[in-house]
Amino acid sequence: MKCPSDSLSILRCNQILDAAERLIESQGIVSFKFSQLAHEVGCSTGTLYKFFERKEDVLVCLFLRSATSNHLPIFIHKNPELTAQEKVLLPILFTFETIKRSSSFFTLRSVSVNTMVWKLASDEKVERFKKRINAFWSWFTDSLHLAVENGELVATPLQIKELVQGITFYLTGALTQFESQLIAPEFLSDRRETCYRHLANLMARYDWKTPLTFALFDSLEARTIKFFDQHYRDHMTCAACSALSNTDTKALSPCTRQCG
């Protein structure tokens, strides 16, 4: 199923996704029914099925529309002086900030990556989904290679691969435990400090010229918050998602400006 390309279709598609987001936040991701969307938007079921074959299409598209990777190239363009180490940290801080602002993002992030969900989506949406997920991993990998090239980090290709794995595993685990709201307070400390401490411990296992400090973490977090205050909803549209999906994967690379 093709994503919309003309302005009117894009507008209608965004309206449907906006309605789906509201239903998820009010009823939950399991309870809301795909058929409700036509009523919520005020369109025919034929119009709904023109853009989405089933509920899984909607879930995948909602994730793609709100993915943190949508914002990364814009932030880099506005802040070209960032070090490679700071670029490594950006997707982590962007994810934390997105979850603070969206009550549905973590649920979408967790559910959409389940094979029982994304494999049921239409082919084009699956293709875009895979591309965006792997671009997230590529961002960390490219940033770490850039850090090595710039003399910020001494690491072998295997160490880079393991650090990328460690960061993504850390991010998934931290989000799952904190967002579940199931863990007793005695097992968890302050969320912000805990996330920083575990990230710093992970980064400290590798030979960085400048260790990750709380001051650096705090400074980059403040810049992230300011950026989100100004631009958070700007790129959460079908048009922005399509523009990103139709570009070369280098558009999602942190070293685009340096590497050509």
| pLDDT tens per residue, range 170-190 | 999 999 999 999 999 889 888
Average pLDDT for residues 201-224, to the nearest whole number?
96
**Residue 255 scores a pLDDT above 70:** no
**Interhelix angle 123-149/84-101, nearest 10 degrees:** 140
CA distance readout (Å), 5 to 9, 24, 69 = 7, 26, 21
Q: Which residue has the tokens 């009550």?
A: 103
Q: SS in 3 state form for 26-82? A: HHCCCCCCCCHHHHHHCCCHHHHHHHCCCHHHHHHHHHHHHCHHHCHHHHHHHCCCC
Helix (H) or strand (E) segment spanning residue 198: helix 191-203
* Dist CA 25 CA 30 (whole Å): 11
* Dist CA 173 CA 179 (whole Å): 10
How many other CB atoms sit within 10 Å of the CB of residue 124? 13
Asked whether the beta carbons of 196 and 170 are under 8 A apart, the reply is no
Residues 6+ apart with CB under 8 A from 117: 56, 59, 60, 111
Q: What is residue 231's predicted lDDT score, i.e. its pLDDT? A: 84
The closest alpha carbon to 98, from 243, 221, 9, belongs to 221
| pLDDT tens per residue, range 69-119 | 888 988 999 999 999 999 999 999 999 999 998 888 889 999 999 999 999
Q: 6: pLDDT confidence band, cut at 50, 70 and 90?
A: confident
128: DSSP letter: H
